[in-house]
Structure 1
Amino acid sequence: MRKFNVNVNGNSYVVEVEEVGAENTAPVVSPVNAVAPAAPAPVAKPAAPAPAPKPAVTGGTTLKCPMPGKVLKLLCKDGDKVAKNQKVLLLEAMKMENDIVAPADGIITYIAKEGEDVVSQQDLAVIK
């Protein structure tokens, strides 16, 4: 048997070829990784327990999270007056930054904190 290194479309293969007159068997083709094997991934630390939820704020219009993500920045302060469709929060979801706007005019009270991971339909703020 003879071995050959064959490159096809950037993939390297080692091919074994039998000489004429040898037994009639199928050649063996095995892919060869051109890249050095990566180091094993570090073991993730167990997640910290979730903090106790804030007590619900009653009354007003609740601003719900439209998708799971992370609160990057609160664009107003608690107690600020906001207008309908004003940007009040910056949410990162799937590596994209999304502006979250006020659903109504009023005074904003945040429930979510900067850096907090949030899930879809979680309360982010209340506007009274």
Structure 2
Amino acid sequence: MKNYAITVNGTVYDVTVEEKGAGSAPVAAQAAPVAAPAAAPAAPKAAAGAGSIQVKAGAAGKVFKLEASVGQNVSKGDPVVIIEAMKMEIPVVAPEDGTVASIDVAVGDAIESGAVLATLN
């Protein structure tokens, strides 16, 4: 018997697999969901949606790096957040000039396309 931890859509399952004879396919003996480990605490963020201009993700992925911080002035086209999608680093830029009002994600967060990552005033 072999034990594996498998994650499916964010749910972690402990799976025990029994091997039957040489050359035969393994048979799943049991699978039970287990609690996912708690995420490390993120840096404090300003209240979500604090600004009137939304900076949205163009693709689903993972937050790789925060390029701007709350209170920082940014110009149209300046990178605010870098996301990693399909092994590429993709900058998410300010849609117009403004001041960063909130950063609504942390490094390592999984995000969907269209998610609000930050807001500007």
The alignment's TM-score, normalised by the length of structure 1, stands at 0.58
1:114 to 104, 107, 114: 107
1:82 & 1:61 partners in 2: Cα distance?
Answer: 12
SS in 1 for 2:6: coil
Residue number in structure 1 paired with 2:117: 124
> Where do 5+ consecutive residues of structure 1 fail to align?
1-39
RMSD: 2.6
Residue among 89, 105, 117 paired with 1:97: 89
1:120 partner SS: coil
Summarize the Cα distance change of 1:68–1:48 in structure 2 as closer, same or farther, 3 Å threshold: farther
- Structure 1 residues 54-65: aligned runs within 5 Å: 56-65=48-57
Q: TM-score with structure 2 length normalisation?
A: 0.61
User: Would the alpha carbon gap of residues 42 and 56 (structure 1) be closer, same or farther in structure 2, given more than 3 Å must change?
Assistant: same
Q: Could you list the structure 1 runs, at least 4 aligned residues long, displaced by more than 3 angstroms after superposition.
A: 47-50
Structure of larger gyration radius: 1
Q: Which amino acid aligns with 2:90?
A: N
